[in-house]
Amino acid sequence: MDKIDRRQGMADVAQLAGVSLSTVDRVLNERGSVSDSKRRKVLQAAQVLGLKRLLPSALHGLLRFALIKLIVIR
């Protein structure tokens, strides 16, 4: 999914969940604080619409560690 399609998908999730686009971004990218009720609404709406995070947080952390290690070794 390219950036424009993802942004539109996030807007659809925000509308369905009744929250702002920035709230959807914080939930899907696991940044900042969001109340449990809003987080549930966003995740349910994302599931209904089939929108998922591009990179699960555990994989993201592993990738970041590998890149740092690669940079340090070089």
* Stronger pLDDT, 41 or 50, i.e. the higher one: 41
pLDDT band at 7 (very low <50, low <70, confident <90, very high): low
Counted residue by residue, the chain has a size of 74
Q: Is 80 exceeded by the pLDDT of residue 13?
A: yes
Residue ranges of domains in the chain: 3-73
Structure confidence at residue 18 (pLDDT): 97
Considering the entire predicted model, what is its pTM? 0.63
pLDDT at residue number 64: 62
At 65, is the secondary structure helix, strand, or coil? Answer: helix
CATH class of 3-73: mainly alpha
pLDDT of residue 21: 93
Distances (CA, A) of 39 to 2, 53, 67: 24, 14, 30
Among the listed residues 36, 7, 11, the one whose alpha carbon sits nearest the alpha carbon of residue 27: 36
